[in-house]
């Protein structure tokens, strides 16, 4: 049975130009994929943004649509261009220039999971790679584009919040105020993907909830923010990375006992972010 590409939870009434999306929290692993992999069913989850879909699940209740991947990141990475094909994994693909993500095995069809562990033995055909892209990548991005177009048509702008998590070790060497490591990293491609005022408001929402926030270090945003962030057209894209160790055991991939409390803390932030795109907040006439 084929894994669906995505799921959308729509609000009863759309009240904001903000669209939430989670491209890496998919956890529907096809049996054929597990059998094909060198990794067991637990290890293959190490690249997954586990539970991020649950953390942002309040979005529809505050009037924003929420797009969630169903297919897992190890199967296909929705935060990569469909052209980021890995010649070390896919037959018949030629190396074109140097792409550090592809070179490290993290193209649109990943060759490795976290810590460089190989997913496959040998290569796959170009036909199989194209089938995965047509089955999972294109439907997800078609849905995302439609949500952003609808927001722009209704509110005169669209604000994409691309929701992710990051391993604790990714921010070990990054410090913010008072030497504290960031718990939240906002990526806007160094201002190229979103208006600074919007990013300021998102940062303030996290800070008011007690989080330590960094911008663009160590993550500035990948394909999604680069492709969809068009602030000159009033379409903004901001990537949010949350330190996984705050709410889950990274080795066991299980939520902490206080997960519900952390989720509730984040729900206040989600509500404030959604409010950024409301007509009242923007001073726009309701349609």
Each residue's pLDDT tens digit, 26-52: 999 999 999 999 999 999 999 999 999
CA pair distance 4, 67, nearest whole angstrom: 13
Averaged pLDDT, 64-71: 97
Instruction: Return the pLDDT at 285.
Output: 41
Q: Which domains can be identified in the chain, with CATH numbers?
A: 6-26+48-71+135-282 (3.40.630.40)
Give residue 8's pLDDT band: very low, low, confident or very high (50, 70, 90). very high
CA pair distance 59, 66, nearest whole angstrom: 6
Which of 286, 271, 154 lies closest to 202, judged by CA? 271
Average pLDDT score over the chain:
93
Which of 38, 122, 107 lies closest to 73, judged by CA? 107
Each residue's pLDDT tens digit, 177-218: 557 889 999 999 999 999 999 999 999 999 999 999 999 999
Alpha-helical runs (H) found in 107-258? 126-132, 138-155, 196-208, 223-228
Per cent of the chain over pLDDT 90 is 87
The token pair at 29 is: 């692993």
Q: Is-contact 71 28, C-beta < 8 A? A: yes
CA pair distance 89, 81, nearest whole angstrom: 16
The token pair at 274 is: 């959604």
Phi-psi region of 209 (alpha: psi -120 to 50; beta: other; left: phi over 0): alpha
What is the arrangement of strands in the sheet containing 18-22, beginning at the earlier edge strand? 6-9, 66-69, 18-22, 158-166, 235-243, 184-187, 213-215
| Cβ neighbours around 238 below 10 Å, total | 26
Instruction: Return the pLDDT at 283.
Output: 52
Torsion angle, alpha carbons of 259, 264, 265, 268, to 10: 150
Instruction: Return the pLDDT at 71.
Output: 94
Strand partners, 162: 21, 239
**What is the pTM (predicted TM-score) of this model?**
0.94
Averaged pLDDT, 151-167: 97
Averaged pLDDT, 131-158: 97
Give residue 280's pLDDT band: very low, low, confident or very high (50, 70, 90). low
Which of 259, 242, 152 lies closest to 202, judged by CA? 242
Instruction: Return the pLDDT at 286.
Output: 40
Each residue's pLDDT tens digit, 214-261: 999 999 999 999 999 999 999 999 999 999 999 999 999 999 999 999
């Amino acid at each position: 049975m084929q894994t669906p590409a995505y799921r959308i939870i729509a609000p009863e009434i759309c009240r904001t130009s903000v669209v939430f999306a989670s491209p890496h929290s998919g956890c529907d692993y096809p049996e054929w994929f597990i059998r094909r992999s060198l990794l067991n069913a637990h290890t293959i989850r190490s690249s997954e943004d586990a539970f991020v879909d649950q953390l942002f699940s309040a979005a529809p209740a505050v009037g924003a649509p929420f797009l969630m991947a169903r297919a897992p990141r190890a199967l296909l990475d929705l935060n990569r261009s469909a052209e980021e094909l890995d010649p070390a994994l896919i037959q018949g693909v030629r190396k074109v220039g140097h792409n550090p993500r592809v070179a490290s095995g993290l193209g649109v069809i990943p060759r490795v999971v976290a810590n460089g562990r190989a997913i496959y033995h040998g290569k796959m055909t170009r036909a199989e790679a194209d089938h995965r892209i047509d089955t999972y990548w294109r439907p997800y991005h078609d849905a995302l584009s439609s949500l952003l177009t609808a927001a722009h048509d209704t509110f005169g702008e669209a604000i994409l919040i691309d929701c992710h998590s990051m391993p604790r070790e990714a921010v070990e060497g990054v410090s913010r105020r008072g030497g504290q490591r960031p718990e939240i990293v906002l990526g806007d491609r160094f201002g190229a993907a979103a208006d600074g005022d919007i990013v300021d408001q998102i940062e303030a929402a996290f800070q008011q909830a007690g989080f330590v926030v960094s911008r663009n270090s160590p993550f500035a945003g990948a394909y999604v923010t680069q492709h969809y962030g068009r602030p000159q057209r009033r379409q903004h894209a901001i990537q949010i990375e949350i330190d996984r160790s705050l709410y889950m055991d990274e080795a066991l991939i299980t939520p902490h006992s206080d997960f519900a409390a952390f989720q509730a803390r984040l729900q206040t932030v989600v509500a404030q972010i959604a409010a950024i795109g409301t007509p009242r907040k923007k001073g726009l006439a309701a349609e």
